[in-house]
């Protein structure tokens, strides 16, 4: 069975949406993600602009301003819903781990 697009988010997808709770341009998004994750997650320009285009088409973000080649984006309510669904999914995974570690006698 094919997985629905954006049913789960990669780390890069997650942080892009998280970052765009405030209006930002692409360069600001890359810098924010690098700083926020202490360089653990990197998003290069090719990946970023590909994902921004996909998020635009899916209605997860919208353009707020275009100045020459510089574009600014912000998350939409659909994007916020997707972000919150991913957080719930990750919490479920962590809860399963905790439950199994407890019932099976220690850390897995």
The CATH number assigned to the domain holding 57 equals: 1.10.10.10
Domain count, the chain: 1
The sheet that has 24-25: what strands, in order across it?
A: 24-25, 70-75, 61-67
Identify which has the larger pLDDT, 102 or 41: 41
Whether residue 20 is contained in a domain is answered as: yes
Average per-residue pLDDT for the chain: 92
Whether residue 74 is contained in a domain is answered as: yes
Whether residue 2 is contained in a domain is answered as: no
pTM (2 d.p.) = 0.87
107: left (phi over 0), alpha (psi -120 to 50) or beta: beta
pLDDT at 4: 64
Identify which has the larger pLDDT, 16 or 7: 16
């Amino acid at each position: 069975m094919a997985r629905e697009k954006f049913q789960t988010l990669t780390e890069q997808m997650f942080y892009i949406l998280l970052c765009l709770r405030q209006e930002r341009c692409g360069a600001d998004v890359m810098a924010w993600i690098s700083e926020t994750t202490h360089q653990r997650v990197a998003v290069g320009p090719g990946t970023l602009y590909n994902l921004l285009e996909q998020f635009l088409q899916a209605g997860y973000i919208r353009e707020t301003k275009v100045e020459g080649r510089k574009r600014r984006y912000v998350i939409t309510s659909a994007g916020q819903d997707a972000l919150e669904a991913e957080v719930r999914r990750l919490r479920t995974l962590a809860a399963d781990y905790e439950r199994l570690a407890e019932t099976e006698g220690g850390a897995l």
